[in-house]
A and B are shown apart, each in its own frame.
Chain A
Amino acid sequence: MHKLLNAFSSIKLTVVLLMAALLLVFFGTLDQVNYGIYEVQKKYFQSLIAFWSYPTEWPGGNFLKHLIIPLLSGGLLGALLLLNLICAHFKYFVLSWKKIGIALIHVGIVVLLVGGYLIGYFQEEFQMWLPEGKRVNFAKNIRKNELVIIDKTDPNYDTVWSIPENLLKKDKVISLPALGIEVLMDDYYENAVIVRRIDYPQGGIAKATQGSGSKVDLVVFPKAKTYKSNEDSEAAAYVTLKHRGEVLGTWLVSEDERFPPQRLDAGNHQYEIALRPERQYFLFYLELIDFKYEKYPGSEIPKSFSSEVRILNEQAKTDRNVLIYMNHPLRYEGYTFYQANFGPEETSSMLQVVKNSVWFVPYVGVWLTGVGLVVHFCVQLYVYVRRKKEKLNHAF
């Protein structure tokens, strides 16, 4: 037991772990060129172990592509560093005011690391498109899709049944007993191109018996998921619906926004089926009054982007305008709305929406570490000056 404690509290282990962290960050960064920032985050920083392989495009690629470097990933590394720090403090714990600075610094770093984990779990990010003049009460999660069956029978409101992406796998059956509907996933494609059969007589997958897939005679060509930052993967799926045991048909659904809404009737209800980025619904509406894109005079360089937005919250009886622009987000109802993008002809604005109940943790960590650094510096300065004084005294 003692040996284990010794091992885990050794500073040599700290150095080894820090080196591993450095290598992880470096190789992860290199891989971002191929996989983009988000995928690399999952692969390198939020997992337990990762493997980096020599890219084939680099010199000697064909020969060196078998060079695979295993790396301890963020999850494991963070945990080990934490363990190392805690053990070291237990073993070498000496209540000395000289070490207060260092203790604070380490506590601050621990808070930052822990904060990183927490944010990884709790933070949610969405995109909200606001066309000018329209009221919008939802934002999209661009990383996750959902299959929705919307009950449109009542003219006053829609009931949305949302099936999350992790259930959308080939051959999976999802029951919605309240509707008496069973959803069978015939196929789910992470990325696909959909074209008309007339244009592509050969190849592709055509399974639709109902809806646009069948009426327009569309075929699906599955593609590999893309990691390029300026491209989006457009998911698609073939879905067979059964109502009280009776097969209603097979629909082609797609994330492609050009896909029209597909209606169907079942048991005195009218439904709509669609595949779309997962929506986060709010209890309030935002309406874009005006988007302004100011450029520097005589140039295309952006000077400022701003959205004048109206908040409509029936329950809270709120109806007021706010201005959202660069470095000045709107914080409302636990969400923060940042000016992120805009649409063609400047008639629509996109807000980045972030929900993060643990946003303050990095700030606490930064503050603690900052104070620790200042304290440590002052302590060191004091010790240094005192030593110099002693030397001078001894000289006489």
Chain B
Amino acid sequence: MGWVGYRILPTRYLTKLDVAGFTELPVQVNGRILPMESLARNSLMLISGRQMVYLPEGKQKLAAIGWLMHLTMQPELAAQYPIFRIDNAEVLSLMGVKADGRKYFSFNELKAHIPAIEEERKKIPAETALRSVFQNQLGCLYNALDIYSQLLNLLHTGTKPSELSELELEYANWLVSIQPAREALRKWVSGEKVDQEVFQGFFDLGDKYGWISNNVYFAVIPPIERQDKWGNAGFALLNVMETGKLNPVVVDYARLVTSFREGNITTFNAMIKVIQDAIGNKAQWKKLKFEVFFDQLEPFYVSTVIYLLSFILVAISWLVPSWNLQRAAYWVLIVGFVVHSFGLGSRMYLQGRPPVTNLYASAIFIGWVGVLIGLLLERLAKHGLGTAVAAILGFATLIIAHNLGLSGEDQLGVIRAVLDSNFWLSTHVIVITMGYSGMFLGGILAIIYCLGLWFNVGKSKRETLHSMVYGTTCFSILFSFVGTMLGGIWADQSWGRFWGWDPKENGALIIVLWCAIMLHAKWGKLVYERGFMLMAVFGNVVTSWSWFGTNMLGVGLHSYGFMEKGFWVLLAFIVSQVIIIVGTGFLGNFKKT
């Protein structure tokens, strides 16, 4: 409990600098307003694959927000931090670096090779299926560098450290130079002689602001009047030519940067308050504060660890029954479930949507339903089986979610038009993912059964497992079928086609068919206990095909492209299940059960 508590200690207790205030500052990204904390974590995740920077000297750790503060306000320092993760040997050799085990590189090390990276990037084919491993990895590095360069101009328009110390001066000069430049332009157009210097400075700044306006997609400057599109500093400065007014927040941020560079804590803290007031009700501060809290708690990471702990306790309880650890495992699981639920609920509050809106969220939800059902099973059967299965499914799905989150994409992002229906998201999607949960639960119980056969576990335990899996299969066929039908109705209402033979639709149909086959085979006495359980293990293969395999084909409406690493993991998983099935089914000399 203490460990959970430590994670929510606000950063304000750790330093006099109002870092907490900075974490809550709003940024508009891809149509959503999120706090700096989320931006820092998502960006670092994309660049580094993790949410911390490990500094070389003395193995110090820098939190994502600390990194972002340095990047935006002291870039010369941030350029030294080893944050760019590169695994691919070919990409490393492109930069003349030998693959000597180092995985993280700093911007300074990569700077000189950027032209080479850009050259290679032009050769990457548009179709993802045609890309080589080198090209995929290079593409990732390019994206990381792109985000890095955008973030450099998140708060200001400075491109060199010297410019950062004189931002207010630069902005003031720009404002003053607009009118004379207009005059000079008018004179030049009508053929009069003109002082080139007046032009030059104006156009240089204008070019710089134009580049920033077009290329930095993170917007910290709120709109003036009743619009909803935020802008960056470059955009706001150029906009002065039309409106005659400069949004004061631009200058406030400039002062923030200067005070940070000078180490002036009082001014920095004061400017944070000024910016908060200037933005006023254009941002929902309560939500921003909550999102920072949610980010820092990392509830899914916490529950992953707790689930693992719960499983270890159950496993020990089976090996050493006298220690009576099953109750402890059960209660640890409940703690994990509470944290998991809090995470899920927070996501719903922050997004204003039903729980499942993308693949990442589906993994979180499948785990949550699985743990809930596992807890119920534990109350019914009390062998520790329910706890074990819940812990395994919870742990595995959260690990999957974590891996899906490595892209650094905003997992609380907005929903695209075609999915924009809260009704269908809360019915079709929820019901189908519950069906997935049921299948995986049954599959895990069946694997435990197989292990039980190998380790000569007693008949009553095996029968318990058998009836549990029968229950989960009935549950799964109900939910998978209903969920699939709801999907059909949604499709019919949306584009006039109840069933389109889309790969994802086919995947769901295959799950329903497999459950039907299992049940009819059992009722028709084609399989008995062991056969039924082996079929349940195969249910894992069928479900993971439907959940992930169909996305990788690159066909149809649900396609998310070929997730390279994911393909191998999926394949390995399927092979492992087949080995368990074949091993237990054909090679074992077990009495016919």
A residues near B (Cβ < 8 Å) are 10-12, 14-15, 18-19, 21-22, 25-26, 28-30, 32-33, 36-37, 40-41, 45, 115-116, 119, 123, 125, 229, 295-299, 301-305, 326-327, 329, 336, 338, 340, 352, 354, 356, 359, 362-363, 366, 369-370, 373, 377
- Do A338 and B495 have beta carbons less than 8 Å apart? yes
Residues of B within 8 A of A32 (CB): 501, 503, 553, 555-556
Residues of A within 8 A of B498 (CB): 115, 119, 359, 362
Can you list 8 A-B contacts with CB-CB less than 8 angstroms, sorted by A residue number?
A: A18-B517, A21-B513, A45-B501, A123-B497, A298-B229, A304-B417, A354-B495, A370-B485
* Cα–Cα distance between A40 and B482 once the two chains are bound (Å): 25
Answer yes or no: B228 CB below 8 A from chain A CBs. Answer: yes
* Cα–Cα distance between A359 and B489 once the two chains are bound (Å): 11
Known contacts A119-B498, A326-B417, A363-B489, then 10 further A-B pairs from the complex at CB < 8 Å, ordered by chain A residue: A29-B507, A296-B414, A299-B29, A305-B417, A338-B496, A340-B495, A359-B492, A366-B485, A370-B485, A377-B478
Answer yes or no: B79 CB below 8 A from chain A CBs. Answer: no
Residues of A within 8 A of B489 (CB): 362-363, 366
Answer yes or no: B395 CB below 8 A from chain A CBs. Answer: no
- Do A373 and B478 have beta carbons less than 8 Å apart? yes
Residues of A within 8 A of B143 (CB): none
- Do B510 and A22 have beta carbons less than 8 Å apart? yes
- Do A25 and B513 have beta carbons less than 8 Å apart? yes
Q: What is the 8 Å Cβ interface bit string for chain B, positions 478-520, against chain A (1 contact, 0 not)?
A: 1001100100110011111111111100110110011011001
Residues of B within 8 A of A296 (CB): 30-32, 414
* Cα–Cα distance between A369 and B488 once the two chains are bound (Å): 14
Q: What is the 8 Å Cβ interface bit string for chain B, positions 8-39, against chain A (1 contact, 0 not)?
A: 00000000000000000000111110000000
* Cα–Cα distance between A115 and B513 once the two chains are bound (Å): 18
Q: Please count how many residues in chain B sit with their CB below 8 Å of the partner chain's CB atoms.
A: 56
- Per CB-CB distance, the 9 closest pairs between chain A and chain B, nearest first, are A296-B31, A354-B496, A11-B524, A299-B30, A297-B229, A299-B31, A302-B417, A297-B228, A22-B513
* Minimum C-beta distance from A282 to chain B (A): 16
* Minimum C-beta distance from A330 to chain B (A): 11
* Minimum C-beta distance from A355 to chain B (A): 9
Answer yes or no: B554 CB below 8 A from chain A CBs. Answer: yes
Taking A28-B506, A295-B31 as contacts, is the C-beta distance between A19 and B556 under 8 angstroms? no
Residue of A nearest to B231 (CB): A298
Taking A15-B526, A37-B500, A301-B31 as contacts, is the C-beta distance between A29 and B553 under 8 angstroms? yes
- Do B520 and A22 have beta carbons less than 8 Å apart? no
CB neighbors of A among B313-356 (8 A): none
Answer yes or no: B172 CB below 8 A from chain A CBs. Answer: no
- Do A36 and B229 have beta carbons less than 8 Å apart? no
- Do B496 and A329 have beta carbons less than 8 Å apart? yes
- Do A373 and B417 have beta carbons less than 8 Å apart? no
* Cα–Cα distance between A32 and B482 once the two chains are bound (Å): 25
Q: Which of A26, A45, A298 contacts B510, CB < 8 Å?
A: A26
- Do B501 and A28 have beta carbons less than 8 Å apart? yes
* Cα–Cα distance between A213 and B481 once the two chains are bound (Å): 55
CB neighbors of A among B198-248 (8 A): 217, 219, 227-231
Answer yes or no: B416 CB below 8 A from chain A CBs. Answer: yes
Q: Which of A18, A303, A352 contacts B414, CB < 8 Å?
A: A303
Answer yes or no: B421 CB below 8 A from chain A CBs. Answer: yes
- Do B496 and A125 have beta carbons less than 8 Å apart? yes
* Minimum C-beta distance from A294 to chain B (A): 8
- Do B418 and A326 have beta carbons less than 8 Å apart? yes
- Do A301 and B30 have beta carbons less than 8 Å apart? yes
Residues of B within 8 A of A30 (CB): 553
- Do A116 and B555 have beta carbons less than 8 Å apart? no
Answer yes or no: B420 CB below 8 A from chain A CBs. Answer: yes
Answer yes or no: B523 CB below 8 A from chain A CBs. Answer: yes
- Do B506 and A25 have beta carbons less than 8 Å apart? yes
Answer yes or no: B437 CB below 8 A from chain A CBs. Answer: no
* Cα–Cα distance between A373 and B479 once the two chains are bound (Å): 10
* Cα–Cα distance between A354 and B230 once the two chains are bound (Å): 40
* Cα–Cα distance between A302 and B417 once the two chains are bound (Å): 6
- Do A373 and B481 have beta carbons less than 8 Å apart? yes
- Do A297 and B31 have beta carbons less than 8 Å apart? yes
- Do B510 and A25 have beta carbons less than 8 Å apart? yes
Residues of B within 8 A of A115 (CB): 498
* Minimum C-beta distance from A52 to chain B (A): 14
Residues of B within 8 A of A299 (CB): 29-31, 217, 414
Answer yes or no: B550 CB below 8 A from chain A CBs. Answer: yes
Residue of A nearest to B553 (CB): A33
Q: Which of A29, A359, A362 contacts B503, CB < 8 Å?
A: A29
* Cα–Cα distance between A325 and B320 once the two chains are bound (Å): 63
- Do B414 and A298 have beta carbons less than 8 Å apart? no
Q: What is the 8 Å Cβ interface bit string for chain B, positions 520-536, against chain A (1 contact, 0 not)?
A: 11011010000000000
Residues of B within 8 A of A338 (CB): 494-496
Residues of A within 8 A of B555 (CB): 32-33, 36-37, 229
